[in-house]
Amino acid sequence: MDLRSKHKISAAFSMSSMTDIIFLLLIFFMLTSNFITPSGLPVRLPSSKSSNIVMQKVTVTITPDLQYFVNSQPTTLRGIEGLLRNELTRQDGVVVLHIDKQVPVEYLVRVAGIATSLNAKVTIATSRDITP
């Protein structure tokens, strides 16, 4: 006498609807998030063919009239080192330079040298070059 049932119930769970929901949520959050943190100061960045998005930690901005800002806080060239030292102890050692393209390279090199002397990684913010 065979007492086993002929219709077995499957214990498998279909994940296809769950993966669809996760995929739609991922697309929603990617489209609504803001990847670029604006510097907030009016500088015209130089253009580059490969402009990568870098998560900004500490920003140093030099305007065309040679005003210096560290994270939107006005300072002088002499005061940059102290402010960078304070900011770099609280955050990772990444400094993003927002330098107007009219500013001579000499000022960029000075600020980059100060950041490098504090053992920070220095990157230069650029805008994407749209010419083919």
67 assigned to some structural domain = yes
Its domain, for residue 73, covers: 47-128
At residue 87, the pLDDT reads: 83
69 assigned to some structural domain = yes
How many structural domains comprise the chain?
A: 1
96 assigned to some structural domain = yes
35 or 59, greater pLDDT: 59
Task: Categorise residue 88: left if φ over 0, alpha if ψ from -120 to 50, beta otherwise.
Answer: alpha
At residue 7, the pLDDT reads: 74
DSSP string computed for 80-131 = HHHHHHHHHHHS-SEEEEEE-TTS-HHHHHHHHHHHHHTT-EEEE--EEP--
At residue 68, the pLDDT reads: 92
Query: In CATH, what number is assigned to the domain containing residue 120?
Result: 3.30.420
Over residues 67-113, the pLDDT tens digits come to 999 888 899 988 988 888 888 876 567 888 888 888 888 998 999 99
112 assigned to some structural domain = yes
DSSP class of residue 14?
-
Q: Which of 96, 17, 22, 103 is nearest to 59 (CA)?
A: 96
79 assigned to some structural domain = yes
122 assigned to some structural domain = yes
Over residues 36-77, the pLDDT tens digits come to 555 565 666 666 565 555 455 788 889 889 999 988 889 998
d(CA 87, CA 79) in angstroms, rounded, equals 13
